[in-house]
């Protein structure tokens, strides 16, 4: 999970993947603990078992990390292995719930804001447009192409769907408001 959070600086897509990996790892651990109980004929607490509810309450009533560790010791330090396993199962369910919320938030953020690469490309296009409008073309571009429909800077794009999927073309930087396009090899417009 820490790797996923650190990856956010470079790529929200990578962060999402790594948090999903953490979620999958917890699912595997959950199955291991459930197998442990089943193979030994030990009882597994139901969701509404009084001890399960008590374990879930600890995080709500002990905001301090050290207080939480001490509060869980009642179960995690217990001599009965079924109590320890059941407490860990409760904690895994809590962690999975929180990870599911984090994953949902990351997905919404990615949909609404795009990933790091998209934001970087947008900033680059905006800078090219600013220079173009100021009459100072960007020296890194041999030629700044203007959109045939609105006059804004064109950006190199890749067709994602249909018969031409994977082919490259020049698309307007104001997309989706403007759908101006040019073929990669010439100045004529193609839609």
Q: Tell which residue, 130, 181, 141, has the closest CA to residue 158.
A: 181
pLDDT of residue 189: 39
Measured in whole angstroms, the distance separating CA 90 from the mean position of its chain's CA atoms is 25
Give first-to-last CA distance, the chain, whole Å.
44
Query: What integer is the mean pLDDT of 159-174?
Result: 86
Q: Return all residues near 20 (Cβ < 8 A) that are at least 6 apart.
A: 103
pLDDT tens across 121-134, in order?
777 878 877 777 77
pLDDT of residue 52: 96
d(CA 70, CA 80): 18
Q: In what order do the strands lie in the sheet with 168-172?
A: 154-158, 168-172, 181-183
Residue 21 banded pLDDT, cuts 50, 70, 90? very high
Residue 37 banded pLDDT, cuts 50, 70, 90? very high
pLDDT tens across 56-100, in order?
999 888 777 777 878 899 999 999 999 999 999 999 999 999 999
Query: What integer is the mean pLDDT of 184-190?
Result: 54
Position 144 pLDDT exceeds 80: no
Residue 9 banded pLDDT, cuts 50, 70, 90? very low
Per DSSP, 187 falls in state: S
pLDDT of residue 88: 98
The label of the residue with tokens 């101006």 reads 180
Mean per-residue pLDDT over the chain, rounded = 83
Cis omega before residue 54 (within 30°)?
A: no
> Any idea where the domains of the chain sit in the sequence?
2-114, 117-183
Position 2 pLDDT exceeds 60: no
């Amino acid at each position: 999970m820490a790797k996923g959070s650190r990856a956010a600086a470079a790529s929200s897509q990578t962060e999402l993947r790594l948090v999903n990996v953490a979620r999958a790892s917890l699912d595997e651990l959950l199955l291991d603990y459930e197998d442990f109980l089943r193979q030994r004929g030990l009882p597994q607490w139901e969701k509404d078992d009084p001890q399960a509810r008590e374990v879930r309450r600890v995080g709500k009533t002990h905001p301090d990390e050290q207080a939480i560790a001490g509060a869980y010791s009642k179960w995690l330090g217990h001599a009965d292995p079924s109590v320890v396993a059941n407490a860990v199962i409760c904690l895994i369910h809590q962690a999975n719930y929180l990870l599911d919320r984090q994953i949902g938030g990351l997905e919404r953020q990615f949909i609404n804001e795009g990933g790091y690469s998209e934001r970087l490309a947008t900033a680059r296009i905006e800078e090219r447009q600013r220079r173009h409008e100021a009459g100072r073309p960007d020296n890194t571009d041999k030629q700044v192409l203007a959109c045939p429909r609105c006059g804004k800077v064109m950006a190199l794009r890749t067709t994602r769907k249909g018969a031409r999927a994977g082919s490259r073309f020049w698309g307007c930087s104001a997309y989706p408001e403007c759908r101006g396009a040019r073929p990669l090899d010439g100045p004529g417009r193609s839609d």
